[in-house]
Structure 1
Amino acid sequence: MVVMKIIEKYGLLRVQMAYNKEHVKMLKKIGGGKWDPGARVWNFPLGKKQDLETLQGEIVTVSAYDEAVKLLKNHLKQKGYSPKTIKSYTGHLDRFLTYSKGEVDKASINEYLLYLLEEKQSSHSYANQSINAIKAYLRLVNKSEDFTVPYIPRPKKEHKLPKVMSKEEVKKVIDATHNTKHKTMLMLAYSCGLRVSETASMQLKNIDSSRMVVMVEQGKGRKDRMVSLSDKMLQQLRQYYREYKPVKWLFEGSDRSRYISTRTVQTVFNNSVKAVGIEKKLSFHSLRHSYATHMLEAGVDLRFIQELLGHRSSKTTEIYTHVSVQSLGKIANPLDQL
């Protein structure tokens, strides 16, 4: 594991870590770094932050605005936000304050948003999330949930269709995954419509073979839900259990007291997709999208699919009607009528 502390100071990223020959090689491979023997740190340009964050392991980021970030983090914890949302919001705030050098006003916010959209080519969704984080911080420092945040024009929401695989493609990806543990992860995600975090953190106790259901605890939005457990999935789980004998977490990490990282789960999926040569731009979430679409094409009611996916609004689930080929196949193409 690479354990680093990254300090943004004097326009540089100062990386502190215990000496390890292999870890030093990894830093050198990133490029642009320079060892400072006096301070015993590696100095990298600010532009290398994302490259450093791709290194596996625990990364502790400290900036000149650490107190502000810590203040927001504690506030969000008290409000019951999920660890993933807290990490996202505090990261956005830290990046904004670093860019604006601590200034938090309408001009600096608008300048930062233009920087994200024009220079960084960030998505509209990413920019909107930055606005949410900045607004949460402004309300906090002004000690009022009703504090009127200066008007910030938001980028239009992008309407993108989910990336869906055919049943044949899902089967190819699963069949190309030869490791029993990895195959079981992909099968469970597809057969239950799970998010990557829900797959990684699944516990043994949540597999109820007597009722043939899987309990998904505290999914997105702090919601519990139940999904069906297929016979084929149960057989695979039993085979997996005989081989790995997990104790608490269904998919244990290298440290058996913790569950596998979401990054590892995503890498498993990406490697299997690459192995079968699928050219579509897919992510692990495509398994969940495919589950919902295939259910819809099989005639399952949209409201029931909404419950299975744990969507708060039916409008979120309705997006799958746009990628289902069931209705499209019934429409006569004018070219065929010429």
Structure 2
Amino acid sequence: NLKISDIDFERMVIHIRQSKYKKDRIVPLSAIMVIGLKKYLRAENPHVWLFNGKEADGRYSVKGLSWVMRESLKKTTISKNVNLHSLRHTYATHLLEQGLNIVTLQELLGHADITTTMIYLHTAQCQHITPHSPLDTLYGKAIQKQA
């Protein structure tokens, strides 16, 4: 249900309206995605919806998107059972693995309860950081200022 107007190239964000849990959210837009989207917009010239489909109002149906995903998966070596919702889980898992804090992830996913977001901690393969005293890092900064 993405409209062209939902893509903000200036602010580098995508406004997702009324998705899961009927919530709106703002997600970051990748610089790599900007290149592909601008090329797509020039080539396809959509009018309202970002991706034109066969629905009466011109948008893609969930059934159509599922078909695109199934056909794309056939061209890969992925053997796991994957569906459109897997993209949401993958997005969350990768962000956690890259160091995004759980509270920010909760906000991006639109979860009301942090325990829902914490489920991703079981699947993410996060690096373990050696515990240290915050005093050590504060002391190091104080010494640097004195030098």
Would you say same fold, with TM above 0.5?
A: yes
2-structure distance, mates of 1:308, 1:255? 29
296-305 or 263-272, which moves further after superposition? 263-272
> Which whole-Å CA distance do the structure 1 matches of 2:14 and 2:48 have between them?
15
Return the index of the structure with the highest Cα Rg. Answer: 1
Deviation string for 1:153-196 (max 9, x for gaps)? xxxxxxxxxxxxxxxxxxxxxxxxxxxxxxxxxxxxxxxxxxxx
C-alpha distance in structure 2 between counterparts of 1:255 and 1:290, whole Å: 28
**In the comparison of the two structures, how many residue pairs are matched?**
129
2:134 corresponding residue in structure 1:
none
Counterpart pick for 2:50 among 250, 262, 285: 250
Aligned-residue RMSD, C-alpha? 1.8
Shift of 1:277: 2.5
| Alignment pair present for 1:234 and 2:53 | no
Q: Distance in 1 between matches of 2:31 and 2:117?
A: 26
Which of 249, 254, 264 is 2:64 aligned to?
A: 264
2:55/2:61 contact within 8 Å kept: no
SS in structure 1 of the partner of residue 117 of structure 2: helix
Deviations 1:19-55 (CA, angstroms, capped at 9, x unpaired): xxxxxxxxxxxxxxxxxxxxxxxxxxxxxxxxxxxxx
CA displacement at 1:257 relative to structure 2: 3.3
Q: Which has the higher contact order (CA 8 A, sep 6+)?
A: 2
The answer to whether the aligner puts 1:216 opposite 2:16 as a matched pair is yes
Counterparts of 1:262 and 1:249, CA distance in 2: 14
SS in 1 for 2:40: helix
Match of 1:316 among 113, 116, 119: 116
Larger fraction in strand: 1
1:273 and 2:47 are equivalent in the alignment: no
Q: In structure 2, list runs of 5 or more residues that go unmatched.
A: 131-147
Same amino acid, percent of matched pairs: 40
CA shift, 1:327, in A, is: 4.9
Scaled by the length of structure 1, the TM-score of the pair is 0.36
Q: Using structure 2 for the length normalisation, give the TM-score.
A: 0.81
Could you tell me whether the CA contact under 8 Å between 1:293 and 1:323 is conserved in 2? yes
Matches within 5 A, 1:52-201: 201=1
Q: 5+ unaligned residues in a row in structure 1: which ranges? A: 1-200, 331-338
- Paired position in structure 2 for 1:114: none
**What is the identity, as a one-letter code, of the residue corresponding to 2:120?**
Y
